Amino acid sequence: MDFQSDASVLADLLGRTASGDRAAFSRLYDLTKAKLFGVIRRILVRADLAEEALQESYVRVWSNAYRYDSGHASAMTWMIAIARNQAIDLKRKANERVAAQAVALEDVSLQATETSAEDSADYRRLRQCLGGLGEDGRDMVLLAYHQGYSREELAQRFSRPVATVKTILRRSLAALKECLDGKR
């Protein structure tokens, strides 16, 4: 679904989920499952783990819905954060390093710096700011965000010490924030 335009619908369903409304929860699941599963599948290549992460994510959505604060983040962002955390946890546990590296090189997200007018303004702005980072910084941020790479995995992939990866990540994120905030 287009989560920009339907943000208030999701927030409302999340509110009703917080009061124990299973019908609202099921509807919320139907509207968001494909997006969350897409997010999870990029981090977890193995289908069984991805399904486990999705189930765990929605159980958490159910039990933590009362914590959701619409003033802080959109409902979709809040749910994506839960799904990413679950997927990253499972990935670390299952140590899926090999599988993730095998697909990483082909990953379109690293090359696709071109945006089109159909993309949201937020996305275009973010892509533009990412383009302003060094190549390593940009790729590290994207691999970490989309595929759940840890600092150690990035260090291995980029043949850099872990401490250097940490420095690059932090410097890149700070530059990203400055760029994004400057463009508002």
Partner 1 sequence: MASADNEDRDDAAEYALGTLGPADRDAFEARMARDPTLAAEAAAWQERLAALHAETGPAEPPAHLLANILRRLDDAAPNNVVMLKRSADLWRRATIAVSAIAAVLLIAVAVRAPWQQTEQKGLYVAVLQGQGAQAAYVAAVDVKSRMMVVRSLGAHAPDAHSYELWALGAGRAAPQPLGVVEAVARVPSEQLGRTSDTALSDTTLAISLEPVGGSPTGAPTGPVLFTGKLLPAN
Q: Which spans of this chain sit near partner 1 (rule: CB under 8 A)?
A: 18-22, 25-26, 29-30, 33-35, 37-42, 51, 54-55, 58-59, 62-63, 66, 69, 72-74, 76-78, 80-81, 84-85, 88, 92, 108-109, 112, 119-120, 122-123, 125-126, 141-142, 144-146, 148-151, 154, 169-170, 173-174, 176-177, 180
Closest to partner 1 by CB, 77 vs 102, is 77
Rounded least distance, CB 77 to partner 1, Å:
4
Closest to partner 1 by CB, 98 vs 108, is 108
Q: What gap in Å lies between CA 81 and CA 41, rounded to an integer?
A: 14
Rounded least distance, CB 102 to partner 1, Å:
18
Closest to partner 1 by CB, 81 vs 102, is 81
Closest to partner 1 by CB, 42 vs 104, is 42
Closest to partner 1 by CB, 6 vs 51, is 51
Cα of first residue to Cα of last residue in the chain, in angstroms, is: 26
* Residue at token pair 């999340």: 14
Collapsing DSSP states into helix, strand and coil, what is residue 177?
Answer: helix
Judge whether 161 and 155 are in contact, CB under 8 Å.
yes
Amino acid type, 130: L
Give CA 98 to chain center in angstroms: 20
Judge whether 65 and 86 are in contact, CB under 8 Å.
no
Amino acid type, 51: E
Maximum alpha-carbon separation in the chain: 50
Rounded least distance, CB 47 to partner 1, Å:
9
Rounded least distance, CB 88 to partner 1, Å:
5
Judge whether 140 and 158 are in contact, CB under 8 Å.
yes
Rounded least distance, CB 158 to partner 1, Å:
13
